[in-house]
Amino acid sequence: MPADRLDVVVASRTLVPASHPPPGFPAVLQVSNLDLIFGSFHVYFIAVYPAPTTGFPAVAAAVRAALPAFLSTFFPFAGRVVTDASTGVPEIACTNAGAELVLADAFAAALAELPFADAARSLGAIPVPFAHDLALSLQLVRFACGGFALSWGCNHLLVDGHGATAMCNAWAELLRTGGISWEPHHERASLFRPRSPPRFDALLLDAEFTRYEPGELPNALLTATLVRRNYVVSAADVARLRAAASTPTRRATRIEALDTLSRYLGNVVTYASREAEVEAVSSATLAEVAAMAGAAIAEVFRSERFEDWMEARKGVFREEGGGKWTETVGTGTGSPALLLSAFVSFRVEGDFGFGRPRLMVPWLRPGRNGSAAMVVTRSPGEDGAWVVTARLWPRLADAVEADPEAVLKPATAARLGFGARVLPGSVVQQQDTSPTPA
């Protein structure tokens, strides 16, 4: 019987500092212009695990023990997001005030009973809100079956999908081997310097991004009608799509990727959009649509245009409300748009000593953006399948789910591989003793 609702009760919140702060680390870390485009807001990377044979207490103990050493390597995540008093630009105060460790329980729900296909009623209830200035909130949620979720709650100012997956991989390596074999590159402002003088197409970029302000966004009742869904695309369907999108002269890739520093954690992702007539898309072959998307990406496949544009717009941070932008197509005020974020080029090692997760996906709360969106990630089983987390207009969701030949299959608990095994004594009733986060 599917669970009617998922209630997560916080048992404790603890601030954990780095055990060995790196000597000479700057007290304040300046962010790059790429970090500033979308600014400061919370994002989560959620991994959901079946019940480990060791039981949940062993998981919690391992996480507590490893976090101080992890923060010694990823030191900015023990700091705070603050604002420069003179410019209004956000920055990272590396004070070692501590990352937050949250322990919570979902007493009434077993993973086999969760309606994972309905993302809002399953994944959406797992992340625990945290204080805005925290750089990292690491959250463990235990379920009635003994399974658990580990959520990385980060501030987007510090990290995007590339960096978040790199952190997860480092975490798994630390807990399984006792060390991290690479050093993350934290300094960011000098790596992505704007050109002097800045050079960009003001007309084009001013139209591509809009200030995230109430007057520029759909009303909250309209955006609340969007539904959240999780889908699975089988490895066979991925291969079939790739073959259909290829031509004799162009083999379709899963994702177009920038040649970025592999150890860099800040924002590095570039964005592209293209508007097309419905008939032009519906009458085209999949290979032709793929070529249209590839052409749009090729036109903007340079980070410099964003760095230069932001340099010329920094004055808005002094204004009331600060500088926060979003993609204009994502607001939902113009032509219907579906935003696609692809994580399939990022391999994530989710096993930190307690088995592989069955689900690993990013999660964010979109506020008042009215566009549809899909985030595509690799199956944690590395079997070639994809998991798609979507925000859709109800009519689009109905159309997808009514198509018997659709490659997007509802991500039910059974399809994700969650069984009904319950570990004896795995749930201990606790009271919520959580303090208000600092």
Strands 99-106 and 136-143: parallel
Q: Is residue 430 part of a domain?
A: no
Residue 103: which residues within 8 A CB-CB, separation 6 or more?
Answer: 10, 11, 12, 60, 140, 142
More confident residue, 421 or 253: 253
Residue 295 has pLDDT above 60, yes or no: yes
Burial class (CB in 10 A: 0-12, 13-18, 19+), 167: buried
Tell me what pLDDT residue 260 has: 44
Range of the domain at 95: 9-416
More confident residue, 334 or 76: 76
The answer to whether 264 and 166 are in contact (CB under 8 A) is no
Residue 45: which residues within 8 A CB-CB, separation 6 or more?
Answer: 151, 152, 154, 164, 165, 168, 360, 361, 362, 363
Low-confidence winner among 85-89, 154-158, 176-180, 307-311 (lowest mean pLDDT): 307-311
Burial class (CB in 10 A: 0-12, 13-18, 19+), 31: buried
Number of Cα atoms under 13 Å in the Cβ half of residue 288 = 7
For residue 60, which of 99, 129, 21, 14 has the smallest C-alpha distance?
14
The model's pLDDT over 344-356, given as tens digits with 9 standing for 90+, comes to 888 889 999 999 9
Q: Is residue 421 part of a domain?
A: no
Alpha carbons 99 and 325: distance in angstroms, whole number = 27
Residue 137 amino acid letter = S
Q: Is residue 1 part of a domain?
A: no
E-assigned strand segments in 162-252 = 209-211, 227-233
Q: How confident is the model at residue 425 (pLDDT cuts 50, 70, 90)?
A: very low
Alpha carbons 143 and 112: distance in angstroms, whole number = 10
Low-confidence winner among 12-21, 191-200, 280-289, 428-437 (lowest mean pLDDT): 428-437
Alpha carbons 205 and 341: distance in angstroms, whole number = 20
Segment 372-399 shows an average pLDDT of 94
Tell me what pLDDT residue 115 has: 95
The answer to whether 134 and 437 are in contact (CB under 8 A) is yes
Q: How confident is the model at residue 192 (pLDDT cuts 50, 70, 90)?
A: confident
Alpha carbons 398 and 400: distance in angstroms, whole number = 6
Residue 1 has pLDDT above 70, yes or no: no
Tell me what pLDDT residue 3 has: 65
Segment 295-310 shows an average pLDDT of 76
Residue 247 has pLDDT above 90, yes or no: no
DSSP string, 34-95: HHHHH-S-EEEEEEEEPPPTT-HHHHHHHHHHHHHHHHHHSGGGGSEEEE-TTT--EEEE--
Distances (CA, A) of 113 to 1, 3, 50, 116, 414: 6, 5, 12, 9, 9
Considering its fold, how many domains does the chain have in total?
1
Q: How confident is the model at residue 126 (pLDDT cuts 50, 70, 90)?
A: very high
Q: What is the CATH number of the domain that holds 120?
A: 3.30.559.10
Number of Cα atoms under 13 Å in the Cβ half of residue 53 = 3
Alpha helices in 248-375 (DSSP H): 278-282, 286-299, 304-311
Q: Is residue 127 part of a domain?
A: yes
Tell me what pLDDT residue 435 has: 36
Alpha carbons 147 and 48: distance in angstroms, whole number = 8
SS3 state of residue 397: helix
Q: What are the b/e assignments for 176-191, b being 16+ CB within 10 Å?
A: eeeebeeebebebeee
Tell me what pLDDT residue 4 has: 65
Work out the percent of the chain whose per-residue pLDDT is above 70. Answer: 89
Task: Name the helix (H) or strand (E) containing 376.
Answer: strand 372-378
Q: Is residue 428 part of a domain?
A: no
Alpha carbons 280 and 259: distance in angstroms, whole number = 32
Tell me what pLDDT residue 2 has: 60
Task: Kindly tell me the sign of the dihedral angle through the C-alpha atoms of 394, 391, 332, 237.
Answer: negative
Locate 397 and state its tokens: 């969701």
Segment 171-191 shows an average pLDDT of 91
- Phi/psi at 94 (nearest 5 deg)? -90, 70
Q: What is the mean pLDDT of the chain?
A: 87
The answer to whether 361 and 230 are in contact (CB under 8 A) is yes
Tell me what pLDDT residue 433 has: 33
Q: Is residue 349 part of a domain?
A: yes
Locate 127 and state its tokens: 């992340």
